[in-house]
Structure 1
């Protein structure tokens, strides 16, 4: 069994922590609340509980909070409403919530900041969600928000100098050749098959998965996507540092981001190949990066990304270049990314998918 690489978000509650710099992800959870509530009301069969008095919920890729707590509360509220709408107030079960992320995630902060008035029993479940995490048929709802774009690893061939997919001078696939794009896509399909296989064991018959994932529109080249451009700017910034002699070009050549932004079509195909789940609903969520027509500036984007990427970059390049790298990134975001985001402001970038576990 291949071991997944770990890419934890910045822990603690300091200036560059994920806890302090995950507002965009929180907005996505907030705009998905009503869709999630509708999905649970319409698609959850409360008969799946059978004689069990415990309702199992897992949030996969929970990070350190507080976003995961909001997502869990939304789900519990919707499940309670489902029971109440059937006149089954006395049958509302107890809720057991499992918070999952890599072993190196800051679980100390996560559990230290648990809401005091929480309506559930909390437990941590460390490990990669590309493998089994829970006992057979122990979960009723699985949630994951903006986590499935992270691959289990960088595709091997893109760091192999002898491979036609060697990604020299770049750190992502979007503006690379077809071989690099295909290598990333193949890794995504392999990882998603593992994800679905594992969840098919863990979720009860007719149980639900609520997945929120960034996406690129069907039919456009990856290089035309503002989401991918956001990642490509890391490569441009690192190559600038290489030209200044701050890092070696060889070091940049051996660094690639383990992220793949899928399309709705690709996502549908991988779920249908698995055969363990039916797709009950997909919906493009409203854009949340423009508030009253005003989007973030380059510094804000760099700060949000630093909370998620700093550990990955430090591991490969060390910590000396971090401040300089993200300052460079912020300037490039203002010059290149912001105009692209404004141009594509009407395009959806986040997909909400409801999957139901098929009969065994």
Structure 2
């Protein structure tokens, strides 16, 4: 039987004006906002007495991209863990060494990541290429696992969206915004499958008493996923593509054969999937809200993160025109008056009885 290989959607590489490195400060703000949540979780929930003081404390960032945000996260976690050890009388003189693993798809620009590693770092570094929807580490080898702004990416767009005979055929759209219920259900089912795979893999890799911190682009329980800001933005992008098709800049067939592999989950949906996995306790699940300042900033940030998958399907020639139109669409809409919702989740690996 053929094995489905997760698709790879790398952020814009390098350090140029359209790179993810230069256009990810919205994500950095999210990490800064969630820092207090992670600090509290480490201080109150991390079972350091269960860990061997002769082994390094291991941290993995899943979906690290090219930096610099992953380094901010790692430094914050290390400082919080050091403080936890120093406040424990029996372990204050046994602060461990730190081993950090940076994970992303094999197509990620690891060269830019490695060049950006802080020269004064106080931890050992290893890159771990591969999909985080599968196993990447030995059993019970991670003390702290993290992923931010990565799990909204699906491993693949649902295949039924391309089937003309299916009620989920997504003609004329690139996501589930303004789509039939069957399209949304297909996306939701794919997310459930992917998140289940992610949780199953981390359940094997995280030590009992270890923590998993997730930051996801999402929605609230009282706002339907297809009405979330993120999904509605891609609805605007889809309308830009359709206008360009009408002008002969691309074909409608190209649009019909493309679906953006992204999904916004809700707290209720996440809670159900975590409980179904059964290996983690939910220590906290908090909404994170911070503003996007203007249409141009929103557009260029999305370009840095999403251009790769668009370019692979539509080609590079239309990208400038597409994002010029997209910026204007955002300016003409009221979409940025609605604050985007994100979801911070802290999980603890259960200890077997």
Tell me which interval the TM-score lies in, with the shorter structure as reference length.
over 0.9
Deviations 1:267-325 (A, max 9, x none): 0000000111111111122x222xxxxx5222211111110111111100111100000
Question: CA contact under 8 A between 1:48 and 1:207: conserved in structure 2?
Answer: no
SS in structure 1 of the partner of residue 93 of structure 2? helix
1:341 to 336, 343, 347: 336
In structure 1, what is the Cα distance between the partners aligned to 2:351 and 2:87?
A: 25
Q: What residue number does 1:245 align with?
A: 248
Matches within 5 A, 1:271-290: 271-285=274-288, 287-289=289-291
What CA distance in whole angstroms lies between the structure 2 residues aligned with 1:255 and 1:52?
51
Structure 2 partner of 1:328 = 325
Indicate if the aligned counterparts of 2:11 and 2:20 stay in contact, CA closer than 8 A. yes
Counterpart of 2:106? 103
1:118-267 matches, within 5 Å, as 118-267=121-270
Note the C-alpha offset of 1:335: 1.0
CA distance in 1, matches of 2:137, 2:236: 38
Mapped to 2, the partners of 1:215 and 1:173 lie a distance apart of 14
Provide Cα deviations, 1:22-56, integer angstroms capped at 9, x if missing partner: 01000000111111101100000102313542111
SS, match of residue 91 in structure 1 = coil
SS of equivalent to 2:121: coil
- In the alignment, the residues of structure 1 paired with residue 268 and residue 114 of structure 2 have an alpha-carbon distance, to the nearest angstrom, of 37
SS of 2:165's equivalent? coil
Q: C-alpha root-mean-square deviation of aligned residues, in Å? A: 1.1
Q: CA deviation at 1:219?
A: 3.3
**In structure 2, distance between residues paired with 1:39 and 1:51:** 20
- Correspondence for 2:85: 83
| 2:345 aligned residue (327, 334, 353) | 353
Rounded to whole Å, the distance in 2 between the matches of 1:122 and 1:340 is 41
Q: Paired residue for 2:33, among 31, 34, 37?
A: 31
| Alignment-derived partner of residue 8 in structure 1 | 10
Residue matched to 1:316: 313
Separation of aligned partners in 1, 2:39 and 2:15: 30
CA distance in 2, matches of 1:20, 1:118: 21
**Matching residue of 2:52:** 50
In structure 2, what is the Cα distance between the partners aligned to 1:224 and 1:134? 37
Structure 2 gap ranges (5+): none
Q: 2:68 aligns with which of 66, 69, 77?
A: 66
SS at match of 1:82: helix
1:173 touches 1:181 (CA, 8 Å); kept in 2?
yes
Output the CA distance in 1 between the equivalents of 2:80 and 2:221.
31
Give distance in 1, aligned partners of 2:246 and 2:210: 53
Give the distance between the partners of 1:327 and 1:186, measured in 2 at CA.
33
Residue aligned with 1:141, SS: strand
Q: State the distance in 2 between where 1:335 and 1:253 align.
A: 25
CA-to-aligned-CA distance 1:94-129 (integer Å, 9 cap, x gap) = 000000000000001101110011111000000000
Consecutive unaligned residues of structure 1, counting only runs of 5 or more, are: 290-294
SS of aligned partner of 1:90: coil
Q: Aligned partners of 2:138, 2:54: CA distance in 1, in Å?
A: 15
- 1:220 and 1:211 map into 2 onto residues whose CA distance is 20
